[in-house]
Amino acid sequence: MTATSLPPNSAPRVRVNRLVLYTLLVALTGLFIGPFGWLVLSGLKTPAELAASPVHWLPTHFQWQNFADAFHLIDFLGYARNSLIIALIYAVLVTLSSAWVGFGFARLEAPGKKTLFGILIGSMMLPQMITLLPTYLIFAKLGMVDTYWPWVFWGLAAAPYLVFLFRQFFAGLPRELEEAAIVDGCGYGTIFWRIFLPQSWPVLSASFVIAFTWSWGDYIAPQLLLSTDKSTLAVAVMTTYVTSAGTPVANLQAAASVMYVVPILLIFLIAQRGFVAGMATTGLK
């Protein structure tokens, strides 16, 4: 028997292991997809079916009209446009600023760099509610309430988690790329924009999707800082589908939530191609 051959009784064991693995993967997939599937089914039910006890798992008749009603009862496209503007502004700016800060932590030397990086990582532990009131007071003093300027400044300030991603990526690139550029007379700004940033497409794509999701799904900041006309789709979905008595219309909220999730799925499907982009082709050229 050669070193690479398997014992005769190993083939059934391999098949059993694969079967167990695939069963586990299917179960986990169902666990993650289950909530979204239940949301879709909720959007296709009547209010009576949603309130039924015991649970009414499947609608008697699919209420596709719920999606049309959810779309037309509010200015759905207007709120979606506001969300898209805010999310794009924040995602683009925070991705670039985080890349720049991550490059500095990865490739530059300065006194106290490790301490500053530790403080930056530690800031991820702060709950958003702690900084909510001071943030509102600062923007109110600057006259930026009911404008989109807060998202511009948040984007320019970078995000600790994204800085960490870029720092880890840039720290793993060969030092020879940087040294060759310095010999050719490039400064660190040129090195970042022309060598390091083009190689970081996987991290850029991931960071953009993460930042876009953060902003698109944010409910607290738009509710606090924006008026109804400038508010986002997340706020509209949670606050506008109510009866005259103020009771939420759950089936319309569910239908609107399904449509609310679609842009995130499209952004991911488009940007995921960058996850497997080449790491060093541009720099080596």
pLDDT in tens, the chain (285 residues): 454 555 556 677 778 888 888 999 999 988 888 888 899 999 999 988 888 888 888 888 899 999 999 999 999 999 999 999 999 999 999 999 999 999 999 998 889 899 999 999 998 888 888 888 899 999 999 999 999 999 999 999 999 999 999 999 898 888 888 888 888 888 889 999 998 998 888 888 889 988 999 999 999 999 999 998 899 999 999 888 888 777 888 899 999 999 999 888 887 777 766 544 433 333 344
Taking the C-alpha atoms of residue 146 and residue 141, their distance in angstroms, rounded to an integer, is 12
Token readout for 22 is 């695939």
- The pLDDT of residue 209 is 87
Query: What pLDDT does residue 160 have?
Result: 94
What b-and-e string marks burial along 108-124, b requiring 16 or more CB atoms within 10 Å of the CB?
eeeeeeeeebeebeeee
Cα distance between residue 260 and residue 270, in whole Å: 17
Asked if 73 and 249 count as a contact pair (C-beta separation under 8 A), the reply is no
pTM, whole model, 2 decimals? 0.84
Residue 278: its pLDDT value, please? 35
